[in-house]
A and B are shown apart, each in its own frame.
Chain A
Amino acid sequence: MSVKVLLPNAFQKHTDGTKEIQSSAHNLPELITEIETSFPALKTHLRDEQGQVRRFINFYVNEEDIRFLGNEKYDFKDGDEVLVIPSIAGGCSPHGDTRFAPSQLCCCSYCGQEECSCA
């Protein structure tokens, strides 16, 4: 059994750029443990001082908030797509660069392709 897990941009600084993983976790607690084992650098960021997974991190299974599916009790099914998204996340993290340069990031403009040429 395997599920596809998509990680947000905000994690990539701590995952050496990995955006997507395949996991054999059976449920959410197993998945979080697996992510932390694969990316030890992420672990301290993922949990607060009490060791709880930070409240602003949301998990979705096939478009649905996992809290509507039973949260930790939900059993992953083969082929599930799991999205990890911090609340209101989005945008391209400056990756430590203090200057923001729109042209270096994602699509330059309207067409939306990652390597677009419509600038």
Chain B
Amino acid sequence: MALAYELRCRECGKTYPNTPLSICDACFSPLEVHCDLEAARGSFTREKIAQGPDSMWRYKALLPVPEDYVPATPAGWTPLLAAPRLASRIGAKNLYIKNDAVCLPTLSFKDRVVSVALANAQIFGFDTVGCSSTGNLANAVAAQAARLGLKTYILVPSDLEPAKILNTQVYGAKLVRIDGNYDHVNRLCSQIAERYNWGFVNVNLRPYYAEGSKTVGYEIAEQLGWRLPDNIVCPMAGGSLITKIKKAFKELIALGLVEEKEVRFFGAQATGCSPISTAVKTGADHIEPQRPSTIARSLAIGNPADGIYAARAIRESGGWAEDVSDVEIVSAIQELAETEGIFTETAGGVTTAVTARLYAHGRIKADDLTVTCITGNGLKTTDALAGAYEVERAVRPRLSDFEAYIEEQTEDRAILEGASVR
């Protein structure tokens, strides 16, 4: 059976049969999977999708896998939540959160991309897979490769958060810490992928990997009752996710599943690593690489592979990009947890702080239907909150002691609030 997808060069349009290849041999530009929408028309309907499964694989007809592919891991299908309490804090009236902090199996949206990448790794016959990672991808590759019985080599910058290192090693993956930043790691992986016959999910399998991010977009549309929002706020590292959400919306419009609409895309970065937001702000049509320095390590890519496409997608949509400081990132993590009960990692702090700023600056109107994409879980970056909370003294298990404790607290609060103590 012929597959309903192939590789296509994003610049010159040259097509390639499905192979583990990420760049065009004619113009050295990135390749992208092109799905045959006509072939999917019959099987990609609201009714068929509603039949499930309750995972990202409900959209299998528009993912680059064979029709009879049976997924081993049910990633995705995460909650879309109304966020009224956060909204009222930041001057929004119609704000939703796409909560991939609870994406399974490893608590970030990277589980989606890895599902598609590893499906293709198996199809191509790789017995060893790997990636260069800022952390979340490492976790996702390690977990899903374990389930598929694949050997793994995972390369990360040496300063990665301990939780992300442990969350890779526990699955039996071979983790290699590289003395350098992500861009050094990624360059090395390019060289390794040319020499070793391994399936690197974000290098030679990158076109397939990237398609997995479309499922964030499909889910948002379906969960909004098959309509598109006015705005998307999305964190950016390599810049792939934001472009693929846009691609997903375009496909849904082409297939008539949602009404046509120009969704504005807003990109979020940390100021300490903001090559894409800088390009958007300055109107540059190229990306000036940066040396990252931010606590948002998952977004710390100084030379983003899809940066130019992300900047273009944002500009063409009428959106904008912003970047925020490390202090703002930490406050935003706390604010999201306090208002909506969602504990996100530093990347989600970036997204939340940027969302707040976009409302404050009037870039997003209060009444707009806006979806902000929370892409990772706070339990992986607890070091960002080190020192944020005092360790309280232990209270004796006696009611009178507890009452004294409450009294103390009330007084402390009153002092803090500048009121006089009774």
Contacts and interface: CB of A to CB of B under 8 A. Distances in A.
B325 interface: no
Contact of A90 (B25, B26, B204, B289): B204
Contacts of B289: 65, 67-68
Interface in A54-101: 54-58, 60, 63, 65, 67-68, 83, 85-94, 98-100
Contact of B197 (A55, A83, A86, A105): A105
Contacts of A56: 23, 28-30
B28 A106 contact: no
Interface string B272-314: 0000000000000010110100000000000101001000000
29 contacts: A10-B23, A10-B28, A45-B26, A45-B28, A46-B28, A54-B28, A56-B28, A56-B29, A58-B187, A67-B288, A68-B289, A88-B30, A88-B186, A88-B203, A88-B206, A88-B305, A90-B193, A90-B200, A91-B22, A91-B194, A91-B200, A92-B20, A98-B17, A100-B19, A102-B197, A106-B194, A107-B195, A107-B196, A108-B197
A62 to B, nearest CB: 11
A21 to B, nearest CB: 16
Interface stretch (B71-79, B122-130, B332-340, B395-403): B122-130
Given A85-B191, A107-B197, A112-B195, A91 B21 contact: yes
Contacts of A57: 28
A90 B28 contact: no
A8 B183 CA distance: 17
B127 A10 contact: no
Max chain A C-beta neighbours (<10 A), residue from B24, B190, B291: B190
Nearest to A96: B25
Given A88-B23, A89-B23, A65 B126 contact: no
Contacts of B125: 102
Contacts of B26: 45
Nearest to B238: A88
Interface residues of A, number: 40
A88 B202 contact: yes
Contacts of A99: 17
The secondary structure that dominates the B interface is: loop
Contact of B308 (A13, A55, A83, A114): A55
Q: Which bracket fits the contact residues of B? A: 35 or more
A34 to B, nearest CB: 18
Given A58-B303, A85-B187, A91-B203, A109 B128 contact: yes
A92 B25 contact: no
A27 B25 CA distance: 25
A94 B28 contact: no
A25 to B, nearest CB: 20
Interface in A1-20: 8-10, 13
Contact of B190 (A63, A88, A106, A108): A88
Given A88-B206, A90-B189, A110 B21 contact: no
Contacts of A85: 187, 190-191
Contacts of A87: 23, 30, 303, 305
A34 B122 CA distance: 41
Max chain B C-beta neighbours (<10 A), residue from A54, A58, A87, A92: A87
A65 B184 CA distance: 9
B287 to A, nearest CB: 9
A100 B121 CA distance: 12
Contact of A89 (B11, B16, B18, B28): B28
Given A10-B28, A110-B151, 11 more contacts: A46-B28, A54-B28, A57-B28, A88-B305, A89-B22, A90-B192, A91-B193, A91-B203, A91-B204, A112-B195, A112-B196
B326 to A, nearest CB: 22
Contacts of B288: 67
A90 B308 contact: no
A114 B195 CA distance: 7
A55 B289 CA distance: 12
B180 interface: yes
A81 to B, nearest CB: 12
A110 B127 contact: yes
B176 interface: no
A83 B23 CA distance: 17
Contacts of A114: 195
B194 A83 contact: no
B207 to A, nearest CB: 10
Contact of B194 (A9, A46, A48): A9
Nearest to B240: A88
Given A54-B28, A88-B190, A93-B21, A110 B308 contact: no
Contact of B25 (A93, A108, A112): A93
